[in-house]
Amino acid sequence: MTVVPLNNEFTPGKIIALHLNYPSRIAQRGRIPAHPSYFVKPSTSLSSTGKVLERPAGTELLAFEGEIALIIGTEVRRVTPEDGWAAVSGITAANDFGVYDLRYADKGSNLRSKGGDGFTPMGPSVIDARQIDPTALRVRTWVNGELVQDDTTTDLAFPFSVLVSDLSQLMTLEVGDVILTGTPAGSSVVVPGDTVEVEVDAPTASGSPTTGRLVTPIIEGTAPLPAYSPGPKVDDLQRAEAWGSAEAAGITPVASTLTPELKARINSVGTATLSSQLRKRGFNNVSIDGLKSTRPETRLVGLARTLRYIPHREDLFEKFGGGYNAQKRAFDALGPDDVLVMEARGERGTGTVGDILALRAQIKGAAGIVTDGGVRDLAAVSALDIPTYHAGGHPAVLGRRHVPWDFDLTIGCGGAAVQPGDVIVGDADGVLVIPPYLIEEVVADSIVQEQEETYIAEMVAGGEGVDGLYPMNASWKAKFVVWLAARS
């Protein structure tokens, strides 16, 4: 098996990088690409093993991405997928470094965030592509000696031959061009003082050829960006994506806006009254319909977290339904005052939650669960303290009708649009979705409305007729004011 050192004078004409390819990374990102998508890195970003990489001064989120690099050995244009792999002469290890602090500046081009000098180390050796199976390669990454990425090319979304063919449809791939083929899950943030190593090998091939370890020490840059350049900018979304998860980034959930005082005021009025006040403001489609509660005597008040299921498809469920899928991640992300609202398209023919995950939500302190689909282990879920609103019980597991897809995004549940952070209120009458900016005024007016209705009920019980009383005319309103003052 031929393995040769990567020439230190190697300068590709083009470095083309793929966004998403490995199922593990796709699941982590929560979106499936229908087609390959790319960005271009300048040849000046190329570096070699042992060369230090500067984290730009003032930045926080320098992330590594261990990858397999394809080196084009034959000029091709409009090559077919069947012939695409023949255009590759060699493979080597690469690291697609990026600074998330600068992603906003160039949106999808990644020029500033991934195009800096030294941001594409490659090497140290090249494996002859003609002697290996492109579906039997392995890429591994270590940070300070700890293995953090370990995946194979067995089940890529876009096989290497397809990438070559796809790119060649619109451009000529020339000898020496490089295609970076995506990174698996495990990409995260490194800081000055860390050392990142990447190795690509073919463990089942004769001689188990390897590129050797591509070593990149990280140091702190000292030259700040000038005022005329976009400066570093980070937020919790960028931190979560750079680190791989909010938990890994150490992001503390934002404190609930539902103070004990506000929750008590919400709980002092019924959903029927809240619904009436919402209708007065033009909100006619904010009830989650067709559900019943496991704890109808228990009030539900919390802030929406959301989870979406898509219709079952065998290949998609195989990739995204097992392991630490979106459903499990959504339940693990719950905290106090959270209500997990699930979009199941009204499909009752399988469970969307069972006793273990419902218990997990209760242990995490969540306020409730709402699904327009079925509940598995309904008796056990009903025995928990946490209220669960559902469309009915069903014994089947998730994979019969659903694939857990993504969470914390706008969904539809029981005919209502739900966004993360919406206020969810439920009782025996049903479940409402209240935009958070309306909650204070809606509750205040609901309290007044219920006071008025208590007064009207007393008057009707005392023998008064409803004409002019329900609703109250000016005369009755004046009497109500006196009545209310006497109760204060």
List, as residue ranges, the binding site for Mg(2+). Answer: 377
Confidence of residue 81 (pLDDT cuts 50, 70, 90): very high
CA 279, CA 286: separation in Å to the nearest integer?
9
Domain with CATH 3.50.30.40 in the chain: 285-434
List, as residue ranges, the binding site for substrate. Answer: 354-357, 376
For residue 27, the model assigns a pLDDT of 79
Going by C-alpha positions, the residue among 349, 338, 403, 355 that lies closest to residue 372 is 349
- Residue for token pair 């994979």: 399
Confidence of residue 31 (pLDDT cuts 50, 70, 90): low
Q: Which residue has the higher pLDDT, 31 or 379?
A: 379
For residue 446, the model assigns a pLDDT of 92
CA 462, CA 472: separation in Å to the nearest integer?
16
For residue 44, the model assigns a pLDDT of 95
The average confidence (pLDDT) of the chain is 91
On whether the CB atoms of residues 381 and 405 are closer than 8 A, the answer is: no
Tell me the C-alpha to C-alpha distance, in Å, between residue 158 and each of 20, 64, 277. 9, 21, 52
**What's the topology of domain 285-434?**
Glucose Oxidase; domain 1 (3.50.30)
Confidence of residue 355 (pLDDT cuts 50, 70, 90): very high
Domain with CATH 3.90.850.10 in the chain: 3-249
pLDDT digits (tens, 9 = 90+) for 260-295: 999 999 999 999 999 999 998 999 999 999 999 999
pLDDT digits (tens, 9 = 90+) for 218-238: 999 989 888 888 889 887 778
The rounded percent of the chain whose pLDDT value lies above 70 is 98
pLDDT of residue 1 exceeding 70: no
pLDDT of residue 428 exceeding 80: yes
List, as residue ranges, the binding site. Answer: 354-357, 376-377
pLDDT digits (tens, 9 = 90+) for 447-480: 989 888 888 898 999 998 988 888 888 888 888 8
pLDDT of residue 107 exceeding 80: no
For residue 108, the model assigns a pLDDT of 73
pLDDT of residue 405 exceeding 80: yes
- β-pairing, 368-371 vs 338-343, is parallel
CATH class of 3-249: alpha beta
CA 149, CA 162: separation in Å to the nearest integer?
24
CA 178, CA 286: separation in Å to the nearest integer?
52
pLDDT digits (tens, 9 = 90+) for 319-342: 888 878 899 989 988 989 999 999
